[in-house]
Amino acid sequence: MSKILIGKYEGTIYQEKGGYTGAVALGFGPDGKRKRLKRKGRTKSQVLDRLKEAVADLESGVKTPVNYTVGDAVEGWLAKGLRGLDDDTVINYRSLARKHVIPLIGKPRLGDLRADDVDAWLDGLTDSLSTRTLRLVHSILKRAIRQAQARDMVVRNVAELVKTPKGLAGRPSRALTLDQAQAVLEAAKSSRLHAYVEVSLLTGVRTEEARALRWDHVVAWVDEEEWRPVVKAGFDHDRFAIYVWRSVRAGGDTKTEKSRRTLELPLRAAEALRKHHTRQAAQRLKVGEVWQDNGLVFCSTSGRPLDAANVRRAFRLITKKAGIGETWSPRELRHSFVSIMSDGGLPIEAIADLCGHSSPAVTGEVYRHQLRPVITKGAEVVDAVFGPSKSA
* pLDDT tens figures, 224-247: 889 999 999 999 999 999 999 888
User: Is the pLDDT assigned to residue 378 strictly greater than 70?
Assistant: no
Sheet holding 2-6, edge to edge: 2-6, 9-16, 19-28, 34-41
* Cα separation, 381 vs 114, whole angstroms: 58
What is the average per-residue pLDDT within 252-265? 78
pLDDT digits (tens, 9 = 90+) for 187-233: 999 999 999 999 999 999 999 999 999 999 999 999 888 999 999 99
Question: Mind telling me the catalytic residues?
Answer: 206, 255, 334, 357, 367
DSSP letters along 180-212, please? HHHHHHHHHTTSTTHHHHHHHHHH---HHHHTT
Predicted confidence at residue 370, as pLDDT, reads: 64
* Cα separation, 340 vs 386, whole angstroms: 10
What is the average per-residue pLDDT within 51-79? 82
The overall average pLDDT reported for the chain is: 87
Q: What's this model's pTM, rounded to 2 decimal places? A: 0.64
The dihedral through the CA atoms of 284, 285, 287, 290 has a sign that is: positive
Percent of the chain whose predicted confidence (pLDDT) is above 90: 56
* Cα separation, 122 vs 108, whole angstroms: 15
Is the CB of residue 154 less than 8 Å from the CB of residue 62? yes
* SS3 at position 69: strand
* SS3 at position 164: coil
Of the ranges 26-30, 107-111, 357-361, which is most confident? 107-111
Predicted confidence at residue 375, as pLDDT, reads: 34
In this structure, the strands spanning 240-244 and 34-41 are unpaired
Q: Distance of CA 104 to CAs 75, 108, 128, 319, Å?
A: 14, 10, 14, 37
Is the CB of residue 385 less than 8 Å from the CB of residue 340? yes
Predicted confidence at residue 374, as pLDDT, reads: 39
Look at residues 269, 270, 249 and name the one whose alpha carbon lies nearest to residue 259. Answer: 249
For the ranges 21-25, 76-80, 160-164, the lowest mean pLDDT is seen at 21-25
> Residue 101 gets which letter from DSSP?
I
Is the CB of residue 146 less than 8 Å from the CB of residue 157? yes
User: Is the pLDDT assigned to residue 392 strictly greater than 60?
Assistant: no
What is the average per-residue pLDDT within 377-392? 68
pLDDT digits (tens, 9 = 90+) for 287-312: 999 999 999 999 999 999 998 889 99
